[in-house]
Amino acid sequence: ESIFSTMTAKANKLGAINLSQGFPDFDGPQWIQELVTQAMQEGHNQYAPGPGTMELRTSIKSYLNKYYQLNYNENTEVTVTNGATEALFCSSLALINPGDEVILFEPYYDSYMACIKMAGGIPVPVTLYGPDFSLDKAKIEKAFSSKTKAIFLNTPHNPTGKVFNKDELNFLSKLILKHDTYVISDEVYEFLTFDDHNHIPIATLPSMKERTLTISSGGKTFGLTGWKVGWCAAPENLTKSIRMVHQFNTFSVAHPFQLGMAKAIDKLEDHLKEFRPLYLQKRNLFYEGLKSANLNPIPPQGTYFIMCRIPEELNLTDIEYCYELMEKKKVAAIPPSAFYTLDTEEGKKYIRLCFAKNDETLIKAISSLQ
């Protein structure tokens, strides 16, 4: 069972405020929900085409072009999947052969490790150290070998909230090109960046589009994680392989949800005018609250998570601390050691909290933690 499911179940059982699993406790926009009802009423209730409806693939192509000047062909280079999770799985099986080495940064999103192992690959973790979680260039350079097939990149990064900057991405892209490898780029928090941090898709860097599988999802951007509508944009040869896995995995994604998501993406600009300030305000409210409660929060540059450093004098591991907070303060967090395999001691120093919650929930959690 994933740590997200475990902590959510425990939080529900104890009646704790659930700041563990990453999902909003408020509903996604009503107008998008109505689009799905409309699609159902119009009779779009049978299988959608395997690669995704043309409406949604065209909307994905358009937003990638509008926001990042990336040009993908909706017929041959865009695939709709059951959330980013399925896109990660299909990309992994499409690309990784048994014995291939695959680099990933820890803390990593848990499904990367599972995907690499299911494909028979050999995980090569590289640890990002707090408080800034920046790249250790020497360590990454050393992680590449003649057996490296791909690297998982996640920016904005869950759980640290780090947004990889141009210099770091340039450095990575040079290594990827030098070693003739690919990048599986998980960008589900692409529109959740704060202050002067901007999301840069690695596919926009010179010569990188041919080697990048760009993955995202409507779950975060529209606050509809339960819809599980995700996608992958990749060059035609890679898309062919991804679709081969997808057709025998889920085959296609819920038809009316795709049609609703297509129209929602077409109105992304209007949506972001409310979405971005809303999350910035929540980030500030929660960060300041955690600071006043002496929880040692590390300000996130993106995502809807905050990592807090456990005070050393407590002498508690992340798991012990999470249980203590859950039992004594009725607040549930994620122990991030579940996202490390190389330097597990580093993972034990933090907890992750999710602020995609109503202000009342956040305020209640803070007052309980104080």
Q: Identify the CA nearest to 218 among candidates 269, 160, 258.
A: 258
| Residue number closest to ligand PMP, CB atom | 83
Kindly state whether residue 21 participates in binding ligand GLN, applying the rule CB under 6 A. yes
In whole angstroms, the minimum distance from the beta carbon of 336 to ligand PMP comes to 13
Kindly state whether residue 171 participates in binding ligand GLN, applying the rule CB under 6 A. no
Helix-helix angle 359-369:268-292, to 10 degrees: 10
Q: Which long-range contacts (CB under 8 A, 24 or more apart) does 57-66 make?
A: 58/262, 59/261, 59/262, 59/263, 59/265, 59/266, 60/231, 60/233, 60/265, 61/233, 62/265, 62/266, 63/265, 63/268, 64/201, 64/214, 64/233
Q: Which of 8, 91, 155, 158 is the binder for ligand PMP (CB under 6 A)?
A: 158
As given in the structure block, the two tokens for residue 20 are 């563990």
| Residue number closest to ligand GLN, CB atom | 22
As given in the structure block, the two tokens for residue 172 are 């990575």
What single letter denotes the amino acid at residue 59?
A: S
Q: Which of 173, 217, 337, 361 is the binder for ligand PMP (CB under 6 A)?
A: 217
Kindly state whether residue 361 participates in binding ligand PMP, applying the rule CB under 6 A. no
Q: How many residues bind ligand PMP (CB under 6 A)?
A: 14
Residue 292: Cβ within 10 Å count: 11
Q: State how beta strands 122-127 and 101-106 pair.
A: parallel
Please choose which of ligand GLN, ligand PMP, none residue 2 contacts, taking the beta carbon within 5 to 8 angstroms, the exact cut-off set by kind. ligand GLN
* Interface positions, 179-218, toward ligand GLN (CB under 6 A): none
Q: Which of 188, 205, 245, 306 is the binder for ligand PMP (CB under 6 A)?
A: 188
* Interface positions, 224-283, toward ligand PMP (CB under 6 A): 225, 228, 230
Return the range that interacts with ligand PMP (CB under 6 A); candidates 223-231, 253-261, 287-295, 351-359.
223-231
Helix, coil or strand: residue 51: coil
- H or E element in which residue 62 lies: helix 54-68
Please choose which of ligand PMP, ligand GLN, none residue 230 contacts, taking the beta carbon within 5 to 8 angstroms, the exact cut-off set by kind. ligand PMP
In whole angstroms, the minimum distance from the beta carbon of 152 to ligand GLN comes to 15
Mask of contacts with ligand PMP, 29-68, x by CB under 6 A?
----------------------------------------
Residue 214: φ, ψ to 5°:
-90, 120
Please choose which of ligand PMP, ligand GLN, none residue 4 contacts, taking the beta carbon within 5 to 8 angstroms, the exact cut-off set by kind. ligand GLN
Q: Of 2 and 281, which CB lies nearer to ligand GLN in the complex structure?
A: 2
What pairs with residue 306 in β-bridges?
353
Helices (H) and strands (E) in the chain, counts: 14, 12
Burial of 329 (0-12, 13-18, 19+ CB in 10 A): middle
Please choose which of ligand PMP, ligand GLN, none residue 154 contacts, taking the beta carbon within 5 to 8 angstroms, the exact cut-off set by kind. ligand PMP
Contact indicator for 156, 303 with CB cutoff of 8 Å: yes
Return the range that interacts with ligand PMP (CB under 6 A); candidates 78-86, 121-129, 249-257, 315-323.
78-86
Peptide bond into 131 cis (omega under 30): yes
Return the range that interacts with ligand PMP (CB under 6 A); candidates 77-85, 323-331, 335-343, 347-355.
77-85
Contacting positions for ligand GLN (CB under 6 A) = 2, 4-5, 21-22, 158
Contacting positions for ligand PMP (CB under 6 A) = 22, 83-85, 109, 154, 158, 186, 188, 217, 219, 225, 228, 230
